[in-house]
A and B are shown apart, each in its own frame.
Chain A
């Protein structure tokens, strides 16, 4: 009320600048937005074109051909399958592990806090470098993990260079890097839960499993959802780990969406197909991120309320 009266008494020149000011301040952000949207729409256009960098003269609109050909293209189905498999496996395993570790570390003690800080280190390692670290450790010649595998009877275990274990290896690296992410989010969630329901349950002598499934899990659900969707969105687009580890190989075992699009663009110089792949991936992530943003905003409001 007071603020409004004060403003009314100001000279009119001020009022104009007051109206323009927010726009002026957010202009850079707006420009970045435009800087994102232009290439985005360019991608949409490319995806409807027959466009190869090696044959620029043959560039023309072929409308839906890039998309239609996906239906009969086993490579596309492989890409879709590997991407979903990778995202599914990593998210489920990381969620289970992350929840387990968070519960182990739930009680505030010096040791637990120290461990939870230590576990941040993999998360802060660049995923591409993490892949490189694991590549050194799984080197068939001298890698310590290859040696350990041979100790438990897995002679000549090829890790990322064999089609049958390549997925397992990159999933392992993903778990190493990103489990701490889920862990710290869920740990923050667990530690912010009200204590009364747990005290009441302890007084009543309610079994542990009941407490976990009926009290802990339901109260933790918003955190679990946020962590899961965050990871799902990242994981389905994973590029760094897979590219740094195997470049999508061996063969096309690990050509997930972004790796396939990268190879299409830079190796087969097929811009049209690459763009169409990215649009499909974008559609998937757009769908997921809409669910995510809604849930995230709710959680954010709640966090704000508690702060």
Chain B
């Protein structure tokens, strides 16, 4: 396998370059567009060299877009705050509920435990709208439609199964003997859980939390169905941009850049755990 000819190395190099270009180009291009004025964006052929401007970002952050016709309000910062709030709270709730449950599933084989775990897992693969559409009608009756509580509740459908299955695997990897030894020393169940199991499964819990955050942040359909403009996260908000009049392409690009930066940064930070998390522990990275 090692003796590669020069020709082969060149071909490999070209193939890799093409791969990198294809997957990186959209991100680079949108990043460039976000620093351009509408005039440079609309120029044909597209410009590679241009005078960068921060106007798009200032318009988004201040929420005021100055146009010839007057000032236009942009609610993008609101969307961004919603995304942060919804994702952080959902993951926190999911961790609070999911980690103890994962521990129970890993340590105690009790009646129905597999059934619960599998129901959760199988709905990870079920169509989202199957559950969402009836929920919209229920939510309207319950007064949960377009509330943060309702959304956070629904977000548990993404976060909880993920956390349950990944963290469970980590708990199962801890030898039960360590915990028995600690119990024999006279410590309570809770102390064992807090002092032994939690720290040992710590990296797994962190990874599951990060991944759940990314999934919650990237979710689109839940908020599209259940939230109206003032509660919408960036994924839905940015889409509304493209149809609303007056907002320019540079601002849309800047909004996209601001919206994808948090997940990309987290992913790069946590890339070690991604393989395991994405495959729900089926493939160790």
A residues contacting B by CB (< 8 A) are 2-3, 6, 18, 21-23, 25-30, 32-33, 35-40, 42-43, 46, 100-101, 104-105, 115, 117-130, 132-137, 139, 141-142, 144, 147, 176, 179-181, 184-185, 188-189, 192, 198, 202, 211, 223, 226, 230, 233, 237, 239-240, 243-244, 257-258, 261-262, 265, 271, 274-275, 278-279, 281-282, 285-286, 288-289, 292-293, 296, 299-300, 303-304, 306-307
For B118, the closest partner residue in chain A by CB is A293
Which of these, A37, A43, A282, A288, contacts B119 with CB under 8 Å? Answer: A37
Bound-state CA distance A141–B44 (Å) is: 9
Q: Is B274 an interface residue (CB 8 A)?
A: yes
List residues of chain B with CB within 8 A of the CB of A230. Answer: 279
Q: Are A180 and B23 in contact, with the CB atoms below 8 A? A: yes
Interchain Cβ contacts under 8 Å between A and B, 25 examples: A29-B160, A32-B97, A46-B134, A100-B15, A104-B15, A119-B20, A120-B267, A123-B267, A124-B267, A128-B239, A129-B234, A129-B260, A134-B26, A142-B43, A142-B46, A147-B45, A176-B22, A184-B285, A185-B279, A188-B275, A202-B1, A239-B128, A243-B221, A258-B127, A258-B128
For B281, the closest partner residue in chain A by CB is A300
Q: Are A147 and B275 in contact, with the CB atoms below 8 A? A: no
Could you give, for residues 245-285 of chain B, a 1 whenever the CB lies within 8 Å of some chain A CB and a 0 otherwise? 00001001100100110011011100100110011111111
Q: Are A282 and B130 in contact, with the CB atoms below 8 A? A: yes
B residues contacting A by CB (< 8 A) are 1-2, 12, 15-16, 19-20, 22-24, 26-27, 29-30, 33, 41-46, 97-98, 100-101, 103-105, 107-108, 110, 113, 116-123, 125-135, 137-138, 153, 156-157, 160, 164, 169, 172-173, 180, 183-184, 189, 214, 217-221, 224-225, 234-236, 238-239, 242, 249, 252-253, 256, 259-260, 263-264, 266-268, 271, 274-275, 278-285
| B contact patch SS | helix
List residues of chain A with CB within 8 A of the CB of B26. Answer: 122, 130, 133-134, 137, 176
Q: How far is the CB of A61 from chain B (nearest CB, A)?
A: 16
For B110, the closest partner residue in chain A by CB is A22
Q: Are B242 and A132 in contact, with the CB atoms below 8 A? A: yes
Bound-state CA distance A189–B284 (Å) is: 8
List residues of chain A with CB within 8 A of the CB of B30. Answer: 133, 136-137
Given contact pairs A119-B23, A121-B24, A286-B126, A129 touches B256 in the complex (Cβ within 8 A): yes
Bound-state CA distance A280–B106 (Å) is: 34
Q: Are A226 and B113 in contact, with the CB atoms below 8 A? A: no
Which of these, B12, B20, B252, B264, contacts A125 with CB under 8 Å? Answer: B264
Given contact pairs A26-B101, A147-B45, A147-B46, A133 touches B283 in the complex (Cβ within 8 A): no
Which of A22, A33, A271 is packed against the most chain B CB atoms within 10 Å?
A: A22
Which of these, A134, A262, A293, contacts B129 with CB under 8 Å? Answer: A262
Given contact pairs A21-B108, A26-B105, A185-B278, A115 touches B153 in the complex (Cβ within 8 A): no
Q: Are A128 and B235 in contact, with the CB atoms below 8 A? A: yes
Q: Are A36 and B123 in contact, with the CB atoms below 8 A? A: yes
Bound-state CA distance A286–B24 (Å) is: 35
Q: Are A101 and B129 in contact, with the CB atoms below 8 A? A: no
Given contact pairs A36-B119, A136-B253, A119 touches B110 in the complex (Cβ within 8 A): no
List residues of chain A with CB within 8 A of the CB of B1. Answer: 198, 202, 211
Q: Are A261 and B133 in contact, with the CB atoms below 8 A? A: yes
Q: Are A128 and B130 in contact, with the CB atoms below 8 A? A: no
Q: A120-B274, A262-B225 are in contact. List 20 more A-B contacts (CB 8 A).
A: A23-B104, A25-B100, A29-B116, A37-B119, A104-B16, A121-B264, A124-B260, A126-B263, A133-B256, A137-B29, A137-B30, A142-B42, A142-B44, A176-B22, A185-B283, A188-B285, A192-B284, A202-B1, A274-B133, A299-B283
